[in-house]
A and B are shown apart, each in its own frame.
Chain A
């Protein structure tokens, strides 16, 4: 028993200094001592156009980023795993991890030079005579989409690479020798055997997108309000604290629900095998 004492400070630290305040704002969003139960802000959140649009936009863009990162991440992970040269493989993995470690403000700012009025894309399109004047590419859902894709692709690729490395090399070889074509190999061997990696990667990307702040703030601005930027606006511009708390709770519950769902899907996949 004596030994367990050394983890008490950690537990106290997390419970009192971190989890308690979060628990309290969640309680405060539905119950206040002076007023009793207060759900009017939740009703407001789901009925007001601004917040409803921001929420559905967050969900849609996050889903889109997840699907696209899976679609281009899976083949890339497969390519990386099949590289025979170990030092090349390790270099590629390092280059996948590198953006993940980079400051998100610097990462997102890079897109301003790509998508800005005098950025790469506009200047390229003008010099190819496809357009005559710069198009507004920034502060659009598309800009937020690409920013988030760059931000979270590494998480998808890393999850898939580790899932594929756990798959014995003999399995796809055996399937091939038994006459499986590329499509069969993909749908009957690779996907079912890497379900956990797919679900884990998708969960990380989706929840990351829902909660990301810098990218929607810099590339979307107030034209493309998302859940996170709306939350910040409520605390800094309109000073509507109770609404900010409600948005924070909606954000948290959404990520919890996604995590719960993915655990369910993952365990279904395992029990099937």
Chain B
């Protein structure tokens, strides 16, 4: 089918809005002077070197990586059983369970962040780190359930029954038969939850204490005081890393698996 010229025009506008700013920030991060400028007046890599060497960015980067890793694992641990049970069985209260596990998507992150700060951190029930882990795990849980469910519905119940009728314990049949067959769903859930947690601002915004801060929050704070290309360099690095991950996912599983 021939594609209308008007449709292509709209498509170009959409991509200009989506990707144009990334190209601009890419070039602006090589600006030698200390103002953010496009087009740049020269070429230097010094902002990249400077930003990589800054302890505040190093520390928060490591912390964000750890937080994303822990919350992804915890959400898989909590989410996969829910997906499995709701895919396999029909029972009273199933709708309620589905509702409870999708609620974290509907609740605005800032509302959750404020509530967690008010009742856990300020009342000294949990440390800032533990509260961050709780918040991040809860908001990524729905992705795990959805992604695992999508893999499970394509898996016939009969292969599991076959394993069990041949004498495998239900746990053994789950780990040796079910899990390997839904690995694409699990891996894409992991990538999605990792990225979502690493990038999160609304929840982390309220839950940063002395010495505990995630990379996006440190970037926000830094931007309030300094208007130089160092954040441009850091942004370029983050955007580049994301592009690599997204292209790899597309090559290996197909991009639709992430959604």
Chain A interfacial positions (CB closer than 8 Å to B): 3-4, 6-7, 9-11, 13-15, 17-22, 24-25, 72-76, 78-80, 82-84, 90-99, 101-107, 109-114, 116, 118-120, 123, 146, 149-150, 153-154, 157-158, 182, 207, 210-211, 213-214, 217-218, 228, 231-232, 235, 241, 244-245, 248-249, 251-252, 255-256, 259
Verify A10–B223 contact, CB threshold 8 A.
no
The distance in angstroms between the C-alpha atoms of A78 and B22, with both chains bound, is: 25
Against A, the Cβ 8 Å flags (1 = close, 0 = not) of B76-102 are 001101101100010100000100110
Tell me how far the C-beta of A94 lies from the nearest C-beta in chain B, rounded to whole angstroms: 4
**Quick check: is B152 within 8 A (CB to CB) of the other chain?**
no
Minimum CB–CB distance for A232 against chain B, Å:
7
Q: A14 contacts which of B17, B138, B258 (Cβ < 8 Å)?
A: B138
Q: Is the interface of A mostly helix, strand, loop or mixed?
A: helix
Q: Contact at B110–A228, with CB atoms within 8 Å? A: yes
Q: Is B18's CB under 8 angstroms from A218's CB?
A: no
List of 4 A-B pairs having minimum Cβ-Cβ separation, nearest first: A110-B21, A106-B235, A75-B10, A211-B108
A18 to B100, CA, bound (A): 10
Q: Interface size class for chain B?
A: 35 or more
- B183-219 contacts to A, CB under 8 A, are 195, 198-199, 201-202, 205-206, 216, 219
Smallest Cβ distance from B109 to chain A, in angstroms? 7
Question: Do A6 and B85 touch (CB < 8 A)?
Answer: yes
The answer for the CA separation of A106 and B120 in the assembled complex, in Å, is: 30
Residues of B at under 8 Å CB distance from A? 1, 3-4, 6-11, 13-15, 17-22, 24-25, 28, 35-39, 78-79, 81-82, 84-85, 89, 91, 97, 100-101, 103-104, 106-112, 114-116, 118-120, 134-135, 137-138, 141, 170, 195, 198-199, 201-202, 205-206, 216, 219-220, 223, 227, 231-232, 234-236, 238-239, 242-243, 245-247, 250, 254-256, 258-259
- A218–B222 Cα gap in the complex (Å)? 12
The contact of A7 among B36, B97, B247, by CB within 8 Å, is B97
Query: Which residue of B91, B97, B216, B256 is within 8 Å of A11 (Cβ)?
Result: B97
CB pair B220 A76 closer than 8 Å: no
Can you list 15 A-B pairs with a CB-CB distance of less than 8 A? Answer: A18-B116, A24-B119, A72-B13, A78-B7, A92-B11, A94-B246, A95-B18, A103-B216, A103-B235, A109-B219, A123-B37, A154-B18, A211-B202, A228-B202, A248-B108
Flag if A245 contacts B3 (CB, 8 Å). no
Is the beta-carbon distance between A97 and B81 smaller than 8 angstroms? no
Q: Main SS of the interface on chain B?
A: helix
- Name which residue of chain B comes closest to A231, CB basis: B110
Q: Tell me the complex Cα distance, A4–B81, Å.
A: 9
Q: Are A7 and B109 in contact (CB under 8 A)?
A: no
The contact of B104 among A14, A95, A120, by CB within 8 Å, is: A14
**Are the C-beta atoms of B100 and A19 separated by less than 8 Å?**
yes
- Report A-chain residues with C-beta under 8 Å of the C-beta of B81: 6-7, 10
Nearest CB in chain A to that of B25: its residue: A110
CB distance from B242 to the nearest CB of A (A): 5
Taking CB atoms, residues of chain B closer than 8 Å to A251 are 108, 110-111
